[in-house]
Amino acid sequence: MLSSESAVIAETGYSWFNCQKLKLPKSCGYEFQMQYGSIGWSVGATLGYALAFPEKRVIACIGAGSFQVNARDVSTMLRCGQRN
């Protein structure tokens, strides 16, 4: 499922713990934020990564609580026509 044309965004918490076990291929992007341990950042980060790297397939690993913090960002993704 993951390739050099993929990127993984790992949300703080359980998502991050599980994503640490992934075997990522070379050039596969991987972003996480553990500096402050804040939740909800990954939805917007997914949008930003997809806009910055349109050639990458962005896979976001987000828990339900974190997603609810910024679910409205998904409407921005749809309005911008994000397909990656």
Mean pLDDT over the full length of the chain: 88
Distance CA 55, CA 57 (A): 7
pLDDT in tens, 44-75: 899 899 999 999 999 999 988 888 877 788 88
Instruction: Give residue 78's pLDDT band: very low, low, confident or very high (50, 70, 90).
Output: confident
* Closest among 76, 16, 12, 7 to 47, alpha carbons compared: 76
